[in-house]
Structure 1
């Protein structure tokens, strides 16, 4: 039997795959390709993809609270 608090369950993700997002701190519009909980950290995380300045496809994982819906972004 483990003592202590149970880990908090993640809430329903605020974003879905296909949503166009940006970092709250700024940057290029990115497309969410996956969203959900991960084993290594609390909360919901998203895998996002975007094209860099050189035209290469970039991909990274971000915690949900660091993202917001992109304004004035064109969907591909």
Structure 2
């Protein structure tokens, strides 16, 4: 029996939990709560949280390459 190729291991994550990031396209500063590979897509993904305009806590998952460090913010 022949096994298929193993998927390539993603590179070491650039960011870690607690880092404050923004989308490269703009938006609110977000705090990283989790980072790592996922089964449904290649590369590293991050779960980020932020407060919306209404004060509600928001959370979403983003591919690492769409994010950058936030400027002029204080890390928690």
Q: Give the structure-1-normalised TM-score.
A: 0.92
Uncovered stretches (5+) of structure 2, i.e. residues with no partner: none
DSSP-derived class of the 2:17 partner:
coil
Partner of 1:43: 43
* Separation in structure 1 between the aligned mates of residue 51 and residue 22 of structure 2, nearest angstrom: 13
DSSP-derived class of the 1:61 partner:
strand
DSSP-derived class of the 2:33 partner:
strand
Partner of 1:59: 59
Equivalent residues, number: 75
How far off its partner does 1:48 sit? 0.0
How far off its partner does 1:9 sit? 1.2
Partner of 1:14: 14
* Separation in structure 2 between the aligned mates of residue 75 and residue 13 of structure 1, nearest angstrom: 18
* Separation in structure 2 between the aligned mates of residue 73 and residue 50 of structure 1, nearest angstrom: 13
How far off its partner does 1:8 sit? 1.8
Aligned Cα root-mean-square deviation (Å)? 1.2
Runs of 4+ in 1 over 3 A off after TM superposition: none
DSSP-derived class of the 1:65 partner:
helix
DSSP-derived class of the 2:59 partner:
strand
